[in-house]
Amino acid sequence: LAPRRGWVFPGLDQRLSAAPALVSVVPPVRPYAEAAKSAKRGSQKTKQEETKKKQVIRRRPLMSKPVDDVYLTWYYERPSYDVEEAVGMLKKFQELDFTHPQQYVYINVFLDMALQKKKKVDPFASTVLLPHRFTDETNKVLVFTENEQEAEIARENGAAVVGGVELIKWILEDEIQVDSYVAVPAIMPKLIPLRNKLRRKYPSTKRNSLGHDIPKMLQLFREGLEYMVQDECVIKTRIARV
């Protein structure tokens, strides 16, 4: 810390010169170093061989029906019921749990989305008209048409909004918001600016939202049940009330 260390700490030079003699410079003995290196080289091969040699653990077959009223669920097969029996059980549980009798019944449908040539069906959304309605709710439907007769038919059958090209600006600015969009084929070339905005709600023949039968399309999208494929293969939707 000073030009001459001897001025600050007398004899410091001698101590520093003698200090290395006190430190042992003997390298540590590592007799297993070479063995460890060779083991690391062959560790990948040994791991692969061990995984091949591992025996597959075979689980014993599941039992069909438990004998006792307390049992381990993973030892037994999951019970399956017919639709009528399952609905009867739901009604019984509703009485035991004191739940509201008008609560919804939900269904999970697992689809096989695989095709023959190692391809999969893309997830999709659609609307179905159930034979027995279980709710009084109706969806708001917009009808695109420039024909006055078709517009009058759409209003008589419960369309929320009816119009032509003048509606495009209001839809792009989010001033008009409805549940579904229906159109006649004659006006489709003028609706191209709405393709990115509406996306899957854009009128198309695949979704049955494009055609000449306006009353039929309005009934489907006003009273129909919309479902969507989730998680690549599952449909989760409500189908009834208890």
- CATH code of the domain covering residue 164: 3.40.50.790
pTM (two decimals)? 0.64
Res 21: pLDDT: 47
Angle between helices 33-41 and 43-53 (to 10 degrees): 50
Residues 6+ apart with CB under 8 A from 89: 81
Look at residue 152 and tell me if it is in a domain: yes
- 210 phi, psi to nearest 5 deg: -135, 120
In a domain, 43, yes or no: no
Domains contained in the chain, number: 1
pLDDT at 49 over 50: yes
Its domain, for residue 130, covers 125-241
Whole-number Å distance between alpha carbons of 220 and 225? 8
Tens digits of residue pLDDT in 96-138: 888 888 999 999 999 998 888 878 888 888 999 998 899 888 9
Question: If pLDDT is split at 50, 70 and 90, which confidence band does 75 have?
Answer: confident
Position 39 scores a pLDDT of 54
Q: Is residue 118 part of a domain?
A: no
| Nearest one of 145, 179, 135 to 165, comparing CA atoms | 145
In a domain, 112, yes or no: no
Per DSSP, which regions of the chain are E strands? 104-110, 125-128, 141-144, 161-163, 180-183, 225-230, 234-241
pLDDT of residue 99: 84
pLDDT at 214: 96
For residue 41, what pLDDT is reported? Answer: 55
